[in-house]
Structure 1
């Protein structure tokens, strides 16, 4: 992490990238650029950011941007509420981490670029494959131009020494119900593309992990509340006290109690005032 220069201890570039609060002051190409575009082409920005700081801060900021700019759908299936992320973030994080670890830092005029489109996410890093590597046979191959960076990621359990990154990303994508990522080499750059579900995001329900499923019965909801929530979430319906009473043949007090409970546990939200109060999915 340090080396002796003219009798003085100096941090290495790897130490600067991981531990310096402002490494971009010394290694400007370590900035990571991330953008969300409208549609499927690089024409109109919806959101963009240049991420700076040490490596782990950048990874945290990538997650924040990702959550802000990708979809999280919901669906009631039987008595469970299922939260459905557009992509498995573990796969995206692995792709970003690998781009930061394996990029060519001698390519000082370019940054790691993350582009989010309606139908895909592209992670592009400067520097093509090292000599002798075949883009069609990368799985199980561990070769890097930045051994010290990879060593730290290995020590923090974020990277293995056996070339398993591509397999892990493929597994996370297929377990999520999506296609494995596609690897390409446009010029002197390396790119990995993750294709999303498009308008079929609700089809991912069978593949969603249990930790993203909420058992509504365990929350104490009755059948009326579960059915009302299903109509709110799956069909976009909005309820009033009167509509709830008419649908389930209950009193004003029961309707108010059932609906307000949905709000209290964070499953529904209120809008309007007085007689115009409405309840919709949150």
Structure 2
């Protein structure tokens, strides 16, 4: 019986006995369950899931109902059921996910809202409390009216995309039907996020191509990095461009065509970045969307977990329904052709990888989320793969690979050179030496003098 209850409970806590004198020990879980996706408390069960039983289950049941009514506000929806396990009486308290969030625990003049992090119930941080307040008001961040005036901002990128997608110019009335401004000419948060020079300063994108398999690459940690701000359309375009310039494409000939084999599926990258920008939690300040590219993988990080509070790694991707944290933004991006309104991003990400010519089962895209973050990992389809000289255009492909290695060495050296504390003229001479002699060739003092433009006269060097 207990195993069936536990299997059906999304979240659960176990209590050996009901603590009447210290009810906060279990009532905080009631608050957290109601503020989240629901959960179940088992009274008379220890942490090893053994039934120890309750001495007076009827009295405990009455106390549970009374204390919830007295200490939790608003009153949550719950079911309290008596059960027998191994001949012992236990109580099963099932708390439903609430619609009137936040649900507070109140005592001694203090009100605290709790959320679940892992298997613990903790006081909701400010951003989580704001989320719960909006949820209880049946409002979302992107539909709230901002302090910014529509007349002070341009929307050229939005207009360009609308024209390209629909073939029509964007009329002024569409800003109202898109819920981007209110009747007083104020931008909603969605409108502010889509302005060319977005005033939402924490809406930024950080991109880094790391040197190696982690963030400590040796002589040079990063081979390329960039920070982007502005309209979400700008962030999307710049992010995709950054990935494209930091990946290579192999190809091989077939009988009547050429098969391209890029490091990453562009469609998967695009879908993952759209999801990161549109579904991120904009109430979490001090955190931005990140793209991190390593030798063997690419990760896209976004602030905020799953909108419904579940963990993506515990879900069946094929059965996840569309839950939109920012429905106004999602609707606009749907109208612009960037995403489908019914929500199929996860499916597109995985299907694009499965269709890749160089896909292997171990390269399945990975999804991870917790309360504060969401991360997609896409694996480099070409990493660690030797060149098939019988199927790939032999000499051309080999030359392309060698050229790519040389290009990476050049980039590595030039990045290192920029970081040196030396005169510009010295750096210029070092760069000339590198371009002429490379890493391995020997050179003499005369070569340095010649490239530096100096001549030796009577024991002294003078500029030419």
TM-score bin (small chain): 0.5 to 0.7
Helix, strand or coil: the match of 1:70?
coil
CA drift at 1:123:
0.6
Quick check: 1:73–1:201 contact (8 Å CA) kept in 2? no
Residue 14 of structure 1 aligns with which residue?
A: 190
How far apart, CA to CA, are the structure 2 residues paired with 1:73 and 1:230? 10
Superposed CA RMSD in Å reads 2.5
Residue 283 of structure 2 aligns with which residue?
A: 106
Q: Determine whether 1:173 maps to 2:353.
A: yes
Q: Determine whether 1:118 maps to 2:289.
A: no
Residue 128 of structure 1 aligns with which residue?
A: 305
Q: TM-score normalised to the size of structure 1?
A: 0.67
Structure 1 residues 130-173: Cα deviation after superposition (integer angstroms, max 9, x where no partner): 34534232543111221111111121232223331111110001
Residue 212 of structure 1 aligns with which residue?
A: none
Quick check: 2:190–2:328 contact (8 Å CA) kept in 1? yes
Larger radius of gyration: 2
**CA 158–41 in structure 1, closer or farther in 2 if over 3 Å, else same:** same
Residue 162 of structure 1 aligns with which residue?
A: 342
**CA 151–230 in structure 1, closer or farther in 2 if over 3 Å, else same:** closer
How many residues are aligned here? Answer: 208
Q: Determine whether 1:32 maps to 2:205.
A: yes
CA drift at 1:230:
3.6
How far apart, CA to CA, are the structure 2 residues paired with 1:61 and 1:91? 16
Helix, strand or coil: the match of 2:292?
strand
How far apart, CA to CA, are the structure 1 residues paired with 2:384 and 2:254? 19
**CA 126–235 in structure 1, closer or farther in 2 if over 3 Å, else same:** closer
Helix, strand or coil: the match of 1:83?
strand
Q: TM-score normalised to the size of structure 2?
A: 0.42
Quick check: 2:299–2:375 contact (8 Å CA) kept in 1? yes
Q: Determine whether 1:200 maps to 2:385.
A: yes
Structure 2 unmatched ranges of 5 or more: 1-179, 401-464
Structure 1 unmatched ranges of 5 or more: 207-228, 238-282
Quick check: 2:305–2:311 contact (8 Å CA) kept in 1? no
CA drift at 1:120:
0.6
Structure 1 residues 213-241: Cα deviation after superposition (integer angstroms, max 9, x where no partner): xxxxxxxxxxxxxxxx944214449xxxx
